[in-house]
């Protein structure tokens, strides 16, 4: 099997990030918004925050101690270890602000996330990024990946359309709107990614092909 270069997003793919937000929003602003109600990637809109509230919230959720406290997404570390063990190249590509570089690397070490490269990309045109630490989406598009795992609908379409990459789109409430693209495959879990991506991970029987013995 040829070695594959696999793009792996960090937040909400490997790190359970947004799961922690409803509690913060309730604590800081007294608003009750459940995880399933986070139906847009724009957190201002999902949580009904004013511009000032959002800036306060954004700073809070990017504090090093807060980022370090995230749990890994179920099955993510195990799957990445399996792929790395099979000789594939694990390339973490995150849109986190560049101020989060060190703590992100520390988090991956803490949870023993295997990776060959770590890239910060200005995925969302955020102000304040250090251009010496984050590359542009255009620079990203010059790279070659065999597969990507993302939860951002916008990035999934960029990877599929501009870069021709097959994308496992990790099911999240904010990407639930139907998406029809031959290179974008919806996946409900890490186990499901392993099942749907041929040539990655152990050869598994697709769920639809499970035999039911007749009695
Ligand atoms: Mg993400």
Mean pLDDT (the chain) is 91
Question: How many angstroms is it from 215 CA to the middle of ligand 1?
Answer: 46
Give the Cα separation of 198 and 176 in Å (integer).
24
Residues sharing a CB contact under 8 Å with residue 54, sequence separation 6 or more, in sequence order: 43, 44
Question: How many angstroms is it from 13 CA to the middle of ligand 1?
Answer: 6
Cβ–Cβ < 8 Å for 64, 81: no
Give the Cα separation of 178 and 186 in Å (integer).
10
Q: What is the pLDDT of residue 124?
A: 83
Question: How many angstroms is it from 74 CA to the middle of ligand 1?
Answer: 15
Kindly state which CATH superfamily the domain 5-16+71-201 is placed in: HAD superfamily/HAD-like (3.40.50.1000)
Question: How many angstroms is it from 12 CA to the middle of ligand 1?
Answer: 5
How do residues 39-62 score in pLDDT, each as one tens digit? 998 999 999 999 999 999 999 999
- Locate the domains of the chain by residue range: 5-16+71-201, 18-68
The owner of tokens 């200005």 is 122
User: What pTM did the predictor assign?
Assistant: 0.90
Q: What is the pLDDT of residue 215?
A: 42
| Number of Cβ atoms within 10 Å of the Cβ of 139 | 12
Question: How many angstroms is it from 73 CA to the middle of ligand 1?
Answer: 11
| Number of Cβ atoms within 10 Å of the Cβ of 102 | 10
Q: What is the pLDDT of residue 81?
A: 95
Q: What is the pLDDT of residue 198?
A: 62
How do residues 184-215 score in pLDDT, each as one tens digit? 999 999 999 988 886 675 433 344 444 454 44
Q: What is the pLDDT of residue 207?
A: 46
Measured on CA atoms in the order 129, 132, 133, 138, is the torsion positive or negative?
Answer: positive
Give the Cα separation of 75 and 168 in Å (integer).
15
Give the Cα separation of 41 and 152 in Å (integer).
8
């Amino acid at each position: 099997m040829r070695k594959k270069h696999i793009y792996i997003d960090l937040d909400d793919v490997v790190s359970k990030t947004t799961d922690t937000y409803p509690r913060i929003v309730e604590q800081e602003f007294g608003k009750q918004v459940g995880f399933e109600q986070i139906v847009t990637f724009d957190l201002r809109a999902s949580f009904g925050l004013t511009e000032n509230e959002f800036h306060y919230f954004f700073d809070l959720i990017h504090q090093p101690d807060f980022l370090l406290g995230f749990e890994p997404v179920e099955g993510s570390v195990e799957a990445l270890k399996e792929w790395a063990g099979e000789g594939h190249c694990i390339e973490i590509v995150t849109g986190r602000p560049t101020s989060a570089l060190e703590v992100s690397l520390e988090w991956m070490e803490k949870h023993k996330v295997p990776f060959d490269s770590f890239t910060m990309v200005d995925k969302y045109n955020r102000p304040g990024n250090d251009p010496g630490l984050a590359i542009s989406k255009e620079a990203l598009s010059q790279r070659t990946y065999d597969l990507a795992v993302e939860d951002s609908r916008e990035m999934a379409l960029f990877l599929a359309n501009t870069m021709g990459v097959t994308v496992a789109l990790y099911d999240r409430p904010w990407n639930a709107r139907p998406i029809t693209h031959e290179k974008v495959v919806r996946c409900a879990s890490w186990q499901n990614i392993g099942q749907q991506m041929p040539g990655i991970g152990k050869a598994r029987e697709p769920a639809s092909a499970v035999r039911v013995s007749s009695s």
